[in-house]
Chains A and B, each alone.
Chain A
Amino acid sequence: MELERLLLRVKNPAWYSGGELNSVVKDKETVKTRFAFCFPDLYDVAMSHLGIKILYDILNQRDDIWCERVFAPAPDMEALMREKNVPLFGLESRDAIRNFDFIAFTLQYELSYTNVLNMLDLAGLPVLATERSDDMPVVIAGGPCTVNPEPMADFIDLFNIGEGEETLLQLVDLWQECKGNKREFLERADKLESCYVPALHDRSVKVRRRIIKDLDKAPYPEKLIVPNTKVIHDRISMEIMRGCIRGCRFCQAGMIYRPFRQKSPEVMMKNIEKLCKSTGYDEISLTSLSSSDYDRLPEFADMLLDYCTPRKINLALPSLRIDNFSDELLKKLRAVRSSGLTFAPEAGTQRLRDVINKNITEEDIFESCRIAFNGGNSAVKLYFMIGLPTETDEDILGIADLAQRIVDYYYQLKTKKNGKGVSVTISLSTFVPKPFTPFQWEPQIGLDEIHRRQQLLKNAITSRKIKLNYHEGKTSVLEGVFSRGDRALGKLIYSAWKKGCILDAWDEHFRYDLWCDAMEESGVKVENYAGRRYSYEEELPWDVVDCGVSKAFLIRESKLAYENKTSPNCKEQCLGCGVKKICGGDVCDPNCI
C-alpha cells in the first residue's frame, strides 16, 4: 500500500502502477526464477522498445520464470522513493528487485549508462560488481551498446552479446542448474560463446555475438502490453527483417545486426492478426533498418492493406531508402495514411556520399522528391550528418544547396498544388565513430568545430521553406567518448552519476557541466577517446568481441572511403565481411533466403 501513497503525488503515476492489459502476473510461490528486465530510461521510452517485448514474452512463456519490467523513475518519483525508502520494484509484482535472481539491463544508447547505476542504487544494491555479494542478484546486460562492453564492465556481472532470444533462456537454465550459486554460475556462463564476465574472462578468447538464424522460426509475441497511458510509439511494431545489405560506413546497426534476414509475409500476417486482436491498436509500424530492401515488399504491402484498410488500421513504414521506392508503393501506402516523407542522404555532396558508401545519387534524391511531390506530399524531411571523415566546408554548404534545389524543384513541377508551399526539414546530427564500423578508427570533431559547422550551414540557408534542426552537440561528444571507450571509463560514469548525472538523453536533465567536472575528477579526456584517431594496429577495447565482421574487412572499407570509392551492397556482391563464420552456413547470402 505504500506505493499508493506516492503515486498521487507524481506527474505520471501510470508509469509505476502496473496493471496494464497483457502484463504478466504469476504466483511467486510457483516460479523458480525471478527476472527483472530493466530498460534504463523512462516508461514512455522503454515501453516503445520492441526488444523488451520480445524477450519479456519469451521468458514469461516459461512457467518457472517470471519476468517483470523495471524502468527508470522520473526525478519526482525518484525523490519520493528515496525519501520514503521505497526500493526499486518490478511493475508486475511491486516486489523489490534486489531479491530477484536476475537484474538484466538492455543498453540501447550510451547516454543511458548513468541510469543503470542509478537504478542499481535505487534497488538498494552496490553499483560496482565487485562490491555486490554472492547472495545478490546477477546483474547482466545486453543490447547494441554491449558490442563494446568495456565502459560498463565495472558495474555488470555478465554481458550477453547479440540476439537474446535463445541465450537468455540458456542463462536461466544454467542458473537453475547452479542452484543459485552465483560464483559457479558466472564461471560457467563465461565459457558460453556469447557471454563475457569481465571479472573472469580471458581476453584471448573472443566472445562471439549470437544470432538467430531463421527469423520465421524465432518466437514473436502474440500479445503486447498495452500501456494505460500514452507512450512514444503506441502501436504494433512488426519486425520485418534484421540486418542490412547496405554497408554504410558510419552505421553501426548496418554492421552489428548482420546477416540480412527476412521474415516471410505469411508468418508476419499471422503475427499481425494475433497482435491486432490482442491489443486493439489502430496502427502498425514495420520495423527494420531499411524497409524498402525487403524483397517481397509490394506483395506484403498488398496483404497488409487488405487487412488494415477495412479495419481502419494505419500503416507506418519508416526507414524507406530513397533509391528504390516506387510510385506504386507510395500510392499503396497513401491509401492508408502517410505523414510526410523522410529520407536520409546523410551527406550534401556526391563525393562525401561515396566516402560513406551511402550509394545514392542526386538523381535518386530528386526522383524520390518527384514521386513524393506528385503523390501530394509537400513536406520532406532529410537527415544529414556533419563531421563525417574527409568532410570539408564545401560538403556542408552542399547540404544547404541540395535543400534549396529541392525547394526550387517543387515549384517547377506542374503538379504542385495551388497555394500549398513546400517544406524541407533538415535534421542534422553529428557523426560519432562506432565500434565495428569502417569508421571505428576515425576521430570525432570537437565541440567548437561542431558549433562552427552547424553555424556554417545555418548561415547558408536563406529560404524560409527550409527548416534546420540540430542538437547542441555536447551529447554527441559524450557518445563519442563512450562508444569507443575502455574500462577506464567506469570511473567517469561512476563519478558523473555521483555528481547527479541521470537521464542524460533528456535535454532538460543533461548536465554537461557535471560531466566536465567528472572528467576532470576521473582523468578522462575527450581528446583521448572521441577526438583521437585510433590506429589500425592498436588493440581496441572491443577486440574481445567478435561481431562477425572482420577487422580486415573494416580496414578495406576504411581505405576505400579515403579513395572516394563505394562498395556494392550484399545483394549485388558479397564483400566477404566475415559474418558467414558466425552463421555457420550461407545465411548471410541474401539471394539464398
Chain B
Amino acid sequence: MIRIAFEKNSTAIYMSHLDLMRCMTRALSRAEIPVKYTEGFNPHPYLVFAAPLALGIAGEREYFEIKITEEMPFDEIKQRLNETLPQGLKILDVFEAENDFNEIESADYRVFVEGKTTDDWKEFFNAETIPAEKKTKRGMETIDMKQEILGCETEAVENGVILHLHLPCGNRRNLSPLLVVKTFAPDEETYYTAARTGFFDEKGNRF
C-alpha cells in the first residue's frame, strides 16, 4: 500500500471530496503511474482517502493510498504527480503505509473567524449544551456539540479569532469544523477560513 501525502489549498479548496477523487484519478492517469485497478464491470483505480475533506476546507497534510502493479520509485511518483496537478494541490511525500486509515480517530483544524473574539468563543463554549443540527444518513439530527468538541485553543488576531479545534474524525465519529463555525457565527456574511492540519489515532499519535 503506497501512501501519498498532499496539501490542498488555494482554488483547490472548492473541490468536493468527489471532485478530488476524480481529479486524483485523472492525475494518476496523466502521470502514467502504474496504478492497480479494481475488478468488475467498470474498473477504476484503487484509491482510498484518509478522510473526506468538505468543500471549502484546506488540508495541510492529507492522505490517499494507491496500489501499483509495477515498481516505481517513490520520488518519481511524487515528481510525476506534481507536474500534472491543478493549482492548489501538491504532493508532499510518498511512502509505504505503516498503519491503517481505519485507526484515525480525530483531527486538528485551524479555523479563522472574522469579527469574533476569544471572549465570544468562551461565551459560546461555556454554555451547558451547544445544540446543533447535523445532517446524517438518517436525516437531520440534533447533536450536542459541546460533547463532540474534543478540544479548542483560541488565538486572538487583529480582525478576528483563530480557533485551534480538535475534533472527532473518521469512520466512527465525525464533526465538521464548518458546523462548528456555522453554529458559533451563524450570520451567513461571516467570513472564515478553515484548514485541517493533522490526523491522530486513538492514542493521540500523529498520522
Contacts and interface: CB of A to CB of B under 8 A. Distances in A.
Contact of B88 (A5, A13, A19, A280): A19
B11 A19 contact: yes
A356 B189 CA distance: 57
B52 interface: no
Interface of B: 10-12, 14-16, 18-19, 22-23, 25-30, 37, 43, 55-56, 84-88, 188-189, 191-192
A279 B189 CA distance: 37
A441 B46 CA distance: 58
Given A17-B14, A18-B87, A21-B86, 19 more contacts: A5-B191, A8-B191, A13-B14, A14-B15, A14-B19, A19-B11, A19-B12, A19-B87, A20-B87, A226-B26, A228-B12, A228-B19, A229-B16, A280-B26, A280-B27, A280-B30, A280-B84, A312-B37, A312-B43
A564 interface: no
Contact of A7 (B14, B23, B26, B27): B14
B30 A17 contact: no
Nearest to B42: A337
B191 A226 contact: no
Nearest to A18: B11
Interface string A1-25: 0001101110001100111110000
20 contacts: A8-B191, A8-B192, A13-B56, A14-B15, A14-B19, A18-B11, A19-B12, A20-B11, A20-B86, A226-B86, A228-B12, A228-B14, A228-B19, A229-B14, A230-B22, A276-B29, A278-B30, A282-B25, A282-B26, A312-B37
A312 B37 CA distance: 10
Nearest to A276: B29
A281 interface: yes
A19 B30 contact: no
Nearest to B20: A228
Interface in A236-288: 276-282
Contacts of A278: 30
Most buried by A among B10, B19, B22, B88: B22
A279 B30 CA distance: 7
A202 B15 CA distance: 51
A230 B15 CA distance: 10
A278 B55 CA distance: 26
A16 B46 CA distance: 31
Interface in A15-50: 17-21
A278 B19 CA distance: 18
Contacts of A279: 26, 30
The SS class assigned to the A binding surface is: loop
A17 B11 contact: yes
A533 B152 CA distance: 74
B191 A13 contact: no
Contacts of A8: 56, 191-192
A9 B14 CA distance: 11
Rank and list the top 8 A-B pairs by shortest CB-CB distance, nearest first: A19-B11, A280-B26, A19-B87, A280-B29, A280-B30, A13-B14, A21-B86, A14-B14
A282 B29 contact: yes
A309 to B, nearest CB: 12
Contacts of B87: 18-20
Interface in A443-487: none
B25 A280 contact: yes
Contacts of B16: 229
B28 to A, nearest CB: 7
A185 B11 CA distance: 38
Contacts of A5: 191
A77 B113 CA distance: 22
Contacts of B188: 9
A74 B135 CA distance: 25
B112 to A, nearest CB: 12
Contacts of A4: 191
A13 B55 contact: yes
Nearest to A312: B43
Contacts of A21: 84-86
B71 to A, nearest CB: 20
Interface in A525-549: none
Contacts of A229: 14-16, 19
Nearest to A91: B11
A19 B10 contact: yes
B25 to A, nearest CB: 7
Interface string A191-215: 0000000000000000000000000
A26 B13 CA distance: 23
Contacts of A13: 14, 55-56
